[in-house]
């Protein structure tokens, strides 16, 4: 009887250990990477017509019409694509004596629809974290996600549009009505590097 109990106990421990390993294998921990957004001509034209000047917050950079935001961490469930990806840097929007900083972006796919949130700072006063941009993932994504052998995952052609919350905030701050929900901001490419303990597959 005692031997049988030991056998059952060992089986339970083994099942728990295997289950924990499976969870670790499905969810990749993000180490680094970058998200680049090619800003649309409509967005650039709207800012110009409103007299709003756009800039970047270190360590973001502008290359050939695209703004790059370094990835600082996060985690993604490879089986479902649910996760969060954090970034440093950000954007500034300035007009007259008003400056808006949109920074510390997080791509969040844990809710009903993908969204990019960010901290909003107006003239050095923190308003809080706001859902800034809705994200439209490309139709070609298949699950589970498969990072390359060296742990890299790239998702191209992600549509970026303005949320209602962001449009309302910008209209209020700049005293305009031009910012509307669904306004085309541009197209994003996301590249992340996972720690090597996540599932990988050659590409």
pLDDT of residue 46 exceeding 50, the answer is yes
pTM, to two decimals: 0.84
Q: What is the pLDDT of residue 25?
A: 52
Would you state the pLDDT for residue 198?
A: 55
Q: Where are the alpha helices (DSSP H) in the chain?
A: 2-26, 41-50, 164-174
- Predicted confidence at residue 18, as pLDDT, reads 44
CA 69 vs CA 33, 89, 91: distances in Å: 9, 6, 9
Where are the chain's structural domains?
Answer: 2-194
* Least confidently predicted of 10-14, 36-40, 69-73, 137-141: 10-14
The three-point CA angle 180-98-45 to 5° equals 45
DSSP state of 144: S
Reported confidence tier of residue 7, pLDDT bands at 50, 70, 90: very low
Task: Summarize pLDDT for 107-144 with one digit per residue, the tens.
Answer: 999 999 999 999 999 999 999 999 999 999 998 889 99
The more confident residue out of 203 and 40 is 40
As a whole-number percent, the residues of the chain with pLDDT over 90 amount to: 79
Q: How confident is the model at residue 2 (pLDDT cuts 50, 70, 90)?
A: very low
* pLDDT at position 139: 87
Q: How many CB atoms lie within 10 A of CB 34?
A: 18
């Amino acid at each position: 009887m005692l031997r049988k109990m030991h056998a059952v106990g060992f089986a339970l421990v083994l099942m728990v250990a295997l289950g924990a390993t499976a969870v670790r294998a499905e969810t990749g921990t993000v180490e680094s990477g970058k998200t680049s957004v090619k800003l649309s001509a409509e967005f650039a034209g709207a800012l110009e017509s409103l007299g709003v000047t756009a800039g970047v917050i270190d360590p973001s950079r502008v290359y050939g019409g695209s703004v790059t935001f370094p990835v600082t961490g996060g985690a993604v469930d490879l089986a479902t694509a649910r996760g969060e990806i954090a970034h440093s840097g950000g954007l500034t929007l300035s007009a007259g004596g008003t400056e808006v900083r949109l920074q510390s972006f997080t791509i969040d796919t844990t809710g009903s629809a993908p969204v990019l949130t960010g901290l909003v700072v107006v003239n050095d006063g923190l308003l809080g974290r706001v859902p800034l941009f809705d994200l439209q993932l490309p139709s070609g994504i298949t699950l589970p996600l498969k990072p390359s052998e060296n742990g890299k995952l790239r998702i191209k052609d992600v549509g970026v549009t303005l949320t209602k919350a962001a449009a309302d905030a910008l209209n209020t701050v700049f005293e305009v009505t031009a910012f509307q929900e669904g306004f085309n901001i541009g197209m994003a490419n996301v590249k992340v590097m996972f720690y090597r303990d996540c599932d990988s597959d050659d590409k």
